[in-house]
Every structure is written in structure tokens, then in C-alpha cells.
């Protein structure tokens, strides 16, 4: 059985991981958008846009952790539901942008200048997201908290998106096959659609989905 000191420690860990997730995604989003635009890489640009959406989601997660720390039996409140609605809508908008841009680039034969920074950013993101998943699962298991474990599973989706960016950027950098970057954009769109749907499912119920 956990002591009160251990409970406080793991709640602090969960909260600091949520704060770090917000700060990291903000920085990652800025860098990815800049290099995605400069290098004309749709996959990297879309990855950056997703990072900003994750910032909004992260604010809801941070609020959730504080809520369950103060009242473990409490249900999802209006702040979290609003954050989920905004996040879900933003994901759907991103899906439309990525799909339409990917198809247009494939049709016109547009190719990036380079995807070098996509490789660098995705590798860093895989390492960071892997660490966040481990830390969130540790805190969730120690606290026996389904909400925190669900957040860890959602962070896994960010890791999968990083892998998609790495594959598309790496293959293009090695082969120069033009449509690979656009396929990466479509891969990101698929995950973004799944996350958007998940957000609205959470709004409709008090269950914590597994992403």
C-alpha cells in the first residue's frame, strides 16, 4: 500500500510530466513549423501543427491531474470538456489540411528541398516521447489511476507520429522519391483523425479512452 508521501510524489511527477509535455510540444511545434516551411516539407510542417494541438490537449491533462489529486472520485469538468472539443476540432481541421495538401503535392509532383530536419526532429521526439510514456505509466500504475494511464497511451500516439515522420523523412533523404513526404503527411492525417475522434468520444462520456 502506498504511503501518503509516495502518493504526493507520484502526483507531482505526473503534474511535472504534463508541464514538460506542454513546454516541449510548444518548442517542437515552433521548430517544426519553421523548418517545414523553409524546406517545403509537408510532413514536418504538419507534425509541427500537431505539436501545437498537443499543447491545448496538455493544458486539459494538467488540469485533470490537479482535479483528481484534489478529488480522485470527481468526474471530467467543463474545462476539460472544452479543451477536448477545441483539441478535437483542431485535429479535424489538421486532417483536412494534410489530406488536401498531400493529394495536391502528389498531383503536382511537388517535392521538399530537404527532409534532413525531419529526421533530426523525429529522432529527438521519439526519445522524448518514449521517456514521457515511461514516466506517465510509472505514475499511473503507482497511483492506480486510469486517467493518467490513458494519457500515457495518448502520448504513445505522439511517438507513433514521430515514427511516421522519421520514415517519410528518412526515405526521402535516402532515395529522393518525391511522393514519400506526402505519404508521410497522409500518415499523420490518419493519426490526427483518430485523436480527434477520441477527443469527442471522451466529451460524451466519463470514460478514459486508450487512444
pLDDT of residue 5: 80
The CA angle 170-58-80, to the nearest 5 degrees, is 140
- pLDDT digit string, tens, across residues 72-103: 877 888 888 899 999 999 999 999 999 999 99
DSSP sequence for 104-171: HHHHHT---S--HHHHHHHHHHHHHHHHHHHHHHHHHHHHT-HHHHHHHHHHHHHHHHHHHHHHHHHH
Joined grid coordinates for residue 35: 523548418
Cell of 81: 470538456
Span 155-159, average pLDDT: 93
Nearest Cα neighbor of 34 from 23, 22, 26, 44 is: 44
**What's the residue count for the chain?**
211
Interatomic CA distance for residues 176 and 44, integer angstroms: 16
Identify the helix (H) or strand (E) that includes residue 191: helix 179-204
pLDDT attached to residue 209: 53
pLDDT digits (tens, 9 = 90+) for 95-139: 999 999 999 999 999 999 999 999 999 999 999 999 999 999 999
Q: Which of 116, 120, 95, 126 is nearest to 174 (CA)?
A: 116
CA distance 6 to 22: 25
Q: Side-chain half-sphere of 115: how many Cα atoms within 13 Å?
A: 32
pTM: 0.92
Q: What is the DSSP string of 26-67?
A: HHHHHHHHHHHHHTT-HHHHHHHHHHHHHHHHHHHHHHHHHH
- Residue 3's pLDDT is 62
Amino acid at each position: 500500500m502506498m504511503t501518503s508521501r509516495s502518493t504526493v510524489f507520484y502526483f507531482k511527477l505526473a503534474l511535472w510530466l504534463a508541464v514538460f509535455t506542454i513546454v516541449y510540444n510548444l518548442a517542437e511545434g515552433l521548430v517544426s513549423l519553421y523548418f517545414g516551411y523553409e524546406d517545403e516539407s509537408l510532413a514536418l510542417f504538419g507534425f509541427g501543427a500537431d505539436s501545437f494541438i498537443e499543447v491545448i490537449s496538455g493544458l486539459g491533462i494538467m488540469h485533470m491531474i490537479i482535479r483528481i489529486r484534489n478529488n480522485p472520485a470527481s468526474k471530467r469538468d467543463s474545462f476539460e470538456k472544452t479543451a477536448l472539443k477545441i483539441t478535437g476540432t483542431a485535429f479535424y481541421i489538421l486532417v483536412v489540411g494534410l489530406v488536401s495538401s498531400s493529394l495536391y503535392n502528389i498531383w503536382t509532383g511537388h517535392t521538399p528541398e530537404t527532409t534532413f530536419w525531419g529526421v533530426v526532429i523525429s529522432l529527438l521526439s521519439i526519445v522524448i516521447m518514449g521517456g514521457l510514456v515511461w514516466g506517465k505509466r510509472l505514475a499511473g500504475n503507482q497511483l492506480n489511476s486510469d486517467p493518467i494511464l490513458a494519457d500515457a497511451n495518448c502520448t504513445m500516439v505522439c511517438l507513433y507520429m514521430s515514427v511516421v515522420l522519421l520514415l517519410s523523412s528518412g526515405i526521402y533523404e535516402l532515395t529522393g522519391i518525391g511522393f514519400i513526404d506526402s505519404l508521410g503527411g497522409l500518415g499523420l492525417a490518419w493519426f490526427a483523425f483518430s485523436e480527434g475522434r477520441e477527443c469527442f468520444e471522451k466529451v460524451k462520456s466519463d470514460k478514459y479512452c486508450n487512444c
